[in-house]
Structures are given as C-alpha cells and as structure tokens.
Amino acid sequence: MRVAIRDFTVKWIGYESVFSGLKDLGLDSFELYLDRELKGAKYSDMGQEVSLGFDMSSPQKRHELSKRLKDEGLTVCAILVENDFARPDLEAEVRWVVDACNVAPDIDCDTVRINPPMRIEEGVPEDEYVKTTIRCCQDILDRTEQTGVSLAMENHGLMGNRREFLKSVFDGLDSKRMGLTLDTGNLFWYGHPWETGYSIIQEFARRVKHVHVKNLSFPEEKRNSKREPGEGWPDSAATIHEGDVDIGRIVRVLRAAEYDKDLALEDESLGKFPRDQRIGVVKQDVSFLRKLL
C-alpha cells in the first residue's frame, strides 16, 4: 500500500498546482476528477470550489498528461466521477462512467471511482435502487470490457453506506472488475456504531479496489450507539492523525485481505484550520499514514 491524495485536497490547502503540491508533500500518486466533458475545470466540495486544471477530452491531451506523469514519476491511482444512479437520465450517468473508463488506460490508471444512487427519495424501496445500480454497472462493465478498468463504487451517501445495499449489488454483479472504494469515514458519518462500521469494512475488504482515508471524532457514548446520518457533521470531521476511527485497524484488515494499492488522503477537517495551517495538517496526516505502512 502507498499514500496518495485527492487532487481536490491538494488545491484546497493552497498549492498552485496539483504537481507542485505532490512534490512538496512527497507523494507520487493522486486521484484525478473528471467532469462530464472529461475535464477537471471546476470541482466543489466542503463549501469550496477549486480549478483542477486537467483536460482529458482528447487523445492528444491524454498523451500530454501521460508523458508528464512519467517524466515526474507520478501515477493516477483512480479517476473520480460524480455520477448518480438515481438521476432520471441514467444513460447520461452510464456514459460519464464509460467515458472515464476509456480515458483511464491512456494515463495508466486501472480504477474509476463511482457513486451509488445519491438522490434518495422517500417511499422508493431499497430494492429498486439495488436493481438500478446493478443494471447500470453491468452496462458499464459490458461496454468497457476491453479496457480492463475496474469500477470502485464508494460507500457514500444515504444508500451506499447500507450493508444490505452493498451486499446485494456485489452479489448481483459477477465481475472481478466490480469493487468498492472504501471510505474510512463515511460509515461512521452515516451513523453506524463503531464496531458495526469495522465489521462492514471486514466483510467487504476483499472487494476494495481504492480507499479514501478520512476520520471523525465523537464522544465515546456516541461512538457506540446508532446515530442519525450526518449527525454532528461537519463538526465531527477530524484530522486523519487525531480522529477516533482506528485507521491502523482498518489498514490491518486491508493487508489481511491482500489489498496492496492506494490510501488516498481525504481530510475533511481542513476547513476548521486557518488557510496557512492546512498544509502542515496534511503533512502530519501523510506522516501518520506512512508510519502505519
């Protein structure tokens, strides 16, 4: 395993470019966001909007990035898209992921991180979201078979953090290319008691193809009880090196499952710090993760 970082995080903490940030942080791998036009022109998260500067919309642009990555000794651990399998126009969501899968081999990337259904409507049974997700992912897998690129669906939002949903989707897709982006914070954001969250990670560890590392903090009495999704957020966000989630325990589970890829740093507590302190916080996160490895 190795430490990586999201391109958004690099820009959020104040670096002029992703490349200069990676160099200063001593990292050689990052997760790259692509919008529907196959660019990373703008990305919004945590109340921040940044320009990422990547354009993968043509073979020439992809060739240029691939060359620069090789020249600088860098890799893209995963491509991130923000699809939503609960939108009405499912073909547009599928096409976005398919396009990203077709880009990935040109920059020597083998994984595309995708969303589960995100816009959950009251009264729609979970089984309908399961069926839709399976149908969309199977379509994507069929249309991108020649790429060999894996799909890594994140445990994200109100549906993707449910054990039953994840199990049903993975059981319904007979492909080694279908797996999980494990987010180490989202299960606890969702409200699972600590041990329940760890047991879900244990159950799906062999499905993991990509990891987002984040952390949270709760009073002890809150950790061991069921909470409402998003309860305490964003105050509950914590640095990776100081939060209550046992990242070392999760790393040991991943090692036992023979996971050997990235741990992509995604510290969502950075908004709590003055801008001039954020780079220092992330450097502490990087050091902490390296010691675990």
pLDDT, tens digit (0-9, with 9 covering 90-100), for 71-108? 999 999 999 999 999 999 999 999 999 999 999 999 99
pLDDT at 259: 98
Q: What is the pLDDT of residues 232-245, one digit of tens each?
A: 999 999 999 999 99
Say how far apart CA 271 and CA 235 lie, in whole Å: 10
CA 164 to chain centre: 20
- Exposed/middle/buried for 232, CB within 10 Å: 0-12, 13-18, 19+? middle
φ/ψ of residue 67, rounded to 5: -65, -45
Percentage above 70 pLDDT, the chain? 100
pLDDT at 48: 81
pLDDT at 43: 84
- Are the C-beta atoms of 182 and 208 separated by less than 8 Å? yes
Say how far apart CA 66 and CA 51 lie, in whole Å: 20
Per-residue pLDDT band for 53 (boundaries 50, 70, 90) equals confident
> Please, which residues have CB within 8 angstroms of residue 34's CB and are 6 or more apart in sequence?
40, 54, 56, 79, 80, 81, 99, 100, 103
* Helical pair 194-204 and 247-256, crossing angle rounded to 10 deg: 20
User: Minimal CA–CA distance to 286: which of 229, 247, 232?
Assistant: 247
Give yes or no for residue 41 having a pLDDT over 80: no
Q: Residue 236 pairs with which residues in a beta bridge?
A: none
Pairing of the two strands 2-6 and 48-50: unpaired
Say how far apart CA 159 and CA 117 lie, in whole Å: 7
pLDDT at 261: 97
Give yes or no for residue 155 having a pLDDT over 90: yes
Query: Tokens 């390296």 correspond to what residue?
Result: 290
Report all structural domains of the chain as residue ranges with CATH numbers, in order of start: 2-292 (3.20.20.150)
pLDDT at 45: 84
| SS3 letters across 73-98 | CCEEEEEECCCCCCCCCHHHHHHHHH
Pairing of the two strands 237-238 and 215-216: antiparallel
Q: What is the pLDDT of residues 179-219, one digit of tens each?
A: 999 999 999 999 999 999 999 999 999 999 999 999 999 99
Low-confidence winner among 35-44, 111-120, 153-162 (lowest mean pLDDT): 35-44
